[in-house]
Amino acid sequence: METRVALIGIMVEQNDQVEQLNRLLSAHGEYIIGRMGVPYHKKNLSLISVAIDAPQDVISALSGKIGRLQGISTKVIYQKNL
């Protein structure tokens, strides 16, 4: 199955959803290249970037599940098809 490289940007505004977020990311660990999280205490939020190499439907499904968590926003940037 063809895969694509993407970046999933995640903004966490409610820390009580972090456990659910980590479960979702762990369940997709086979596709994750790496992740970086930065707490931004001044605005009481966390910014997370996830690099992923997976089929597009897997990326879309993961981003959708993350975005449905209360207090968490997400956006995906896909590799251009060459």
Q: Which domain holds residue 36?
A: 4-78
Q: Return the axis-axis angle of helices 18-27 and 56-67, rounded to nearest 10°.
A: 170
Tell me: pLDDT of 29 over 80. Answer: yes
How many structural domains does the chain have? 1
Q: Which two tokens stand for residue 72?
A: 């968490």
pLDDT at 25: 97
User: Band of the pLDDT at 10, cuts 50, 70, 90?
Assistant: very high
Q: Give the whole-angstrom CA distance, residue 15 versus residue 67.
A: 14
User: The CATH number of the domain where 71 resides is what?
Assistant: 3.30.70.1150
**SS3 state at 19:** helix
Interior angle at CA 81, CA 77 and CA 10, nearest 5: 10
Q: Give the whole-angstrom CA distance, residue 36 versus residue 25.
A: 12
Tell me: pLDDT of 6 over 70. Answer: yes
pLDDT at 82: 58
- Name residue 72's beta-bridge partners: 12
pLDDT in tens, 12-28: 998 899 999 999 999 99
